[in-house]
Amino acid sequence: MPPTVPEPLHLAEFDYELPPGAIAQRPSAQRDEARLMVVEGDVTARPLCDDRSIHDLPELLRPGDLLVVNDTRVFPARLTGHKETGGRIEALLTAPDSDDVSGRQRWKAILGASRMPGAGSAIVFGSGFAAVVIQPPGAGGEAAILELRADGGVEAAIERFGQVPLPPYIERGNGPEAEDRGRYQTIFARERGAAAAPTAGLHFTPELVARLESAGIARAAVTLHVGPGTFQPLRDGPLPDRLHAEFYRIPEATVEAIHRTRRSGGSVVAVGTTTVRTLEHAGRDGRLCPGEGWCDLFIRPGFAFRQTDRMLTNFHLPRSSLLVLVAAFAGRDRILAVYREAIERGYRFYSYGDATLLDPWPPRSHP
C-alpha cells in the first residue's frame, strides 16, 4: 500500500480562549519580576508546571549552558499622518526597500486607513516629512511600498515623528507613553531595525545577566529584525508554507559559542521564538554557519529542531505563527494544556506578560 499522506494542519487547531483581563497592559514593576512557568514532563497527564520567577533563571539552567538572545533594536516604526483627502492614516514601517539618498528612501509598510490610498498618493507625516505611495497594499496581504521624503534625512525624521510600535492589544488611549520607549526594548538591543520587540528578552536586567554569568551560563547573540513574519496574523485554513521574510545575521562568535557548548555537553537555550527561527533557518541542514540573509521559515509540528535544546518564551496569541512554533517544539496538546493551566493560575499574557521555560516534547536525547 502507498504511504499515508498526513492531513494538512489548520489554523483552528492552534486556538484557545483567553479572558481579556489576562492580557498584560503594562510591564511588571521590574523586568525580572515576571513569573516563569517551568514546564516539565507530560502536562496533559497531570500538571507539572512549576511556578517560578525570571529572577530564578540562574538556578534553572546549568553551568555550561548557553543563552542565545536576539539583539535587534526596535525603532519608532509607527507613523501617523494624513492623506491628500485629509483622512487619517497609519503606517507601520517594516523594512527599508532602498538606501537613503538625498533625503529619500523607500520602505515596506503596513497601512491602516478607512480607505487605502492609490499609487502616486501623498501622505504627510509632519513638517518636512511626507511620503508617496509607490505600490499600494496587495490583496494577498503584501505590504505597501512608500517613498519617504524628509528634510534632513529619513532616519532622523522617523526618530522625530515615529512612535513606539506597541502591538494593538496594548491599549494606550493617547498613544505610547514615555515608559514604553524604554520598556519595549531589550537590554541586548544593538542592531536597529525591528518593528516589534523580541519580547522574551524584555525580562532581562544587567543584574540578572551578571548572576547568569557568575553561575557559568554563557550568552551569545543573533539578529533578526522582527517584522510581519513574526506578527502578521495568519489566514484561516491550512497553514502556509512560508512566512514574510525578515533579515537575520549570525556572527561567527555566536556559531563558535554554540559549537563549544555542544562539545562540552551544555544546552543551547534560545531566548524567544525569533532566536529559534534564526538558528533553525540558518542550521536547517544540521550545520550552523555564520552569515546573513532573509528568514522566511515557518516552523510547524513535525519540524526537526536541530539547533535549539530549550526555549524561553512568552505566552503567545491564539492562531498565531508563534503559537504554532511553540507547539511544534513542546507538543500541541501539551502546550495548550500549559496555556489552560497558566490562565487558571493568573499568568499575564503577550508582550508585557510572563514567560515559559520549555523543554522539547517528546523528549529527545541531548545532541
For residue 5, the model assigns a pLDDT of 43
The pTM for the full model equals: 0.93
| Domain range for 130 | 78-161
Opening angle at CA 326, ends 38 and 179, nearest 5: 75
pLDDT tens-place string over residues 167-195: 999 999 888 999 999 999 999 999 999 99
Q: Is the pLDDT of residue 51 over 70?
A: yes
* Most confidently predicted of 136-145, 207-216, 231-240: 207-216
Using H for helix, E for strand and C for coil, what is the string for 211-234? HHHHCCCEEEEEEECCCHHHHCCC
pLDDT tens-place string over residues 118-129: 999 999 999 999
293 and 314 together in one domain: yes
| Residues 26-51, mean pLDDT to the nearest whole number | 85
| Residues 225-241, mean pLDDT to the nearest whole number | 91
Q: Is the pLDDT of residue 95 over 90?
A: yes
More confident: 102 or 122:
122
Q: Is the pLDDT of residue 257 over 80?
A: yes
Least confident of 41-45, 88-92, 238-242, 357-361: 41-45
Number of domain units in the chain? 2
Confidence of residue 101 (pLDDT cuts 50, 70, 90): confident
pLDDT tens-place string over residues 335-357: 999 999 999 999 999 999 999 99
For residue 1, the model assigns a pLDDT of 46
**Phi/psi of residue 190, nearest 5 degrees:** -130, -45
Other residues' Cβ atoms within 10 Å of the Cβ of residue 47: 15
19 and 107 together in one domain: no
More confident: 366 or 121:
121
What residue type is assigned to position 18 of the chain?
L
Whole-number mean pLDDT of the chain?
A: 93
More confident: 362 or 226:
226
**Residues 360/34, Cβ–Cβ less than 8 Å:** no
3-state secondary structure of 72: strand
253 and 239 together in one domain: yes
| Residues 56-75, mean pLDDT to the nearest whole number | 98
More confident: 334 or 140:
334
Q: How far is CA 164 from the centre of its chain?
A: 15
What does the alpha-carbon distance between residue 172 and residue 162 come to, in Å, rounded to a whole number?
Answer: 15
For residue 63, the model assigns a pLDDT of 98
Joined grid coordinates for residue 281: 533557518
Nearest to 245 by CA among 209, 294, 287, 188: 294
CATH number of the domain within which 104 lies: 2.40.10.240
For residue 27, the model assigns a pLDDT of 95
286 and 242 together in one domain: yes
Opening angle at CA 327, ends 325 and 328, nearest 5: 65
For residue 248, the model assigns a pLDDT of 98
Q: Is the pLDDT of residue 66 over 60?
A: yes
CATH number of the domain within which 191 lies: 3.40.1780.10
Does residue 6 fall inside a structural domain?
Answer: no
| Residues 107-121, mean pLDDT to the nearest whole number | 93
What does the alpha-carbon distance between residue 268 and residue 303 come to, in Å, rounded to a whole number?
Answer: 18
Does residue 114 fall inside a structural domain?
Answer: yes
Last residue of a domain, one of 132, 161, 190: 161
What does the alpha-carbon distance between residue 123 and residue 83 come to, in Å, rounded to a whole number?
Answer: 5
82 and 200 together in one domain: no
| Residues 194-211, mean pLDDT to the nearest whole number | 98
Q: Is the pLDDT of residue 48 over 70?
A: no
Joined grid coordinates for residue 172: 494606550
| Residues 21-26, mean pLDDT to the nearest whole number | 96
What is each CA distance from 278 to 130, 153, 291, 294, in whole angstroms?
34, 31, 11, 9
For residue 44, the model assigns a pLDDT of 67
**Residues 110/125, Cβ–Cβ less than 8 Å:** no
Which distant-in-sequence residues (6+ apart) come within 8 Å of 141 by Cβ?
A: 232, 235
Does residue 167 fall inside a structural domain?
Answer: no
**Residues 134/148, Cβ–Cβ less than 8 Å:** no
Does residue 364 fall inside a structural domain?
Answer: no
